[in-house]
Amino acid sequence: MRAGIAGIGFMGWIHYLAYQRATGAELVAFCTRDPQRRGGDWTGIQGNFGPPGKQIDVSDLSVYETLDEMLENDSIDLIDICLPVHLHVDAVRKCLEAGKHVLCEKPLALNADDAASLVALAESKGLHLMVAHVLAYLPEFRLLVDAQQSGKYGKCLGGRFKRVIGPVDWNPDFYNPEKVGGPLIDLHVHDAHLLRLLFGMPKEVISRGRMRGETASYFESMMTYDDPDVIVSVGGGTIDQHGRPFTHGYEVHFERATIQFEFAGFDDGTELMPVKIIHEGGKIERPELGSGDPADAFVIEVQTAADVLAGKDPGALAGQLAADALQICELELKSIKSNNSV
């Protein structure tokens, strides 16, 4: 698979690093409007994980200022979109119209209707539209997906999920529904996608939350499904205090096991409650899950995209799952606004 990255910010940098390690995928091009980065100076890139950006050798890459220019390169099979989310819809549509397969960073769009239209366009063109919902490839969460799909612990009966961040002072557009979408679309969509993978689409959603403008700043939701044994709750959003920029975790119940995990990042360090599997009879298993480097999951993601172009199932990267995740987020917001179940 010959790929070109559109957009060289933090996620573009992380994807670039993934291509250096992935098998079956070759990065051959990128586009960015930043002239310094077109020259290989990526030293100004910094994110919340992974190494900082550095000077890279671009001599073996085709470098473009615009996506339109890069789309004229007939040797590229797939465009890897790492642009700001409000640019996703137009960029994905351009790529599909140009006959390119797409791997787009999450979320696919700012609303479910736009996402569904892109999925339909890809299908009509006979192209793959994949969305980089990386959570399912992080080992703590991949373990859940594998357990549900294999049935090794029996039926998945539900659980509790959370994802909370501190104040987003650095992005004035964070709560703008036309730019970022707030915690539901930017943050909680990770968990909405995971719930869709594990349980399917909910039959009913009951959410309560605090609003900020047109979106929720903090919320708690209960999901019900056709199977009355499945009980799911999920919460997330932002808190008003600095000092703990990020926390996420879960407790998931299966017929023959309960799996628990939690992580929190504080200004003075991190705290981890590693994955524990509580088996029938009380045995506690603490599985070894690898290096703990979240960048490893992006390597798997890129390799999976290459496998899809070679004929394999897209699995967690499927565009329809990403569209469904946005629909779940919209159902939650509708429930919050109406103060009723939907």
Strand order in the sheet with 156-165: 204-212, 215-224, 231-238, 156-165, 246-254, 257-266, 269-279, 284-285
> Mean pLDDT, to the nearest integer, of 221-232?
97
Model pLDDT, residue 293? 82
pTM of the model: 0.96
Which element (helix H / strand E) includes 20? helix 10-21
Domain ranges of the chain: 2-132, 135-338
Mean pLDDT, rounded, of the chain:
97
Q: What is the CATH number of domain 2-132?
A: 3.40.50.720
- Helix, strand, coil share (%) of the chain residues, nearest 5: 35, 30, 35
Which element (helix H / strand E) includes 259? strand 257-266
- 135-338, CATH topology level: Dihydrodipicolinate Reductase; domain 2 (3.30.360)
Residues 335, 178, 330: CA angle, nearest 5 degrees: 20
Cα–Cα dist 314/101, whole Å: 12
- Going through 106-256 in order, the beta strands assigned E by DSSP cover 129-132, 156-165, 204-212, 215-224, 231-238, 246-254
Q: Cα 328 to the chain's mean position, in Å?
A: 14
> Mean pLDDT, to the nearest integer, of 33-44?
97
First and final CA of the chain: distance in angstroms?
A: 42
Region class of 227: left (phi > 0), else alpha (psi between -120 and 50), else beta: beta
Model pLDDT, residue 151? 97
Model pLDDT, residue 202? 98
Contact in structure between 243 and 225 (CB atoms under 8 Å): no
Quick one: pLDDT band at residue 116, thresholds 50, 70, 90?
Answer: very high
Q: Would you say residue 183 has pLDDT above 90?
A: yes
Q: Which residue did the predictor score with more confidence, 291 or 219?
A: 219
What letter would DSSP give residue 52?
P
Contact in structure between 72 and 56 (CB atoms under 8 Å): no
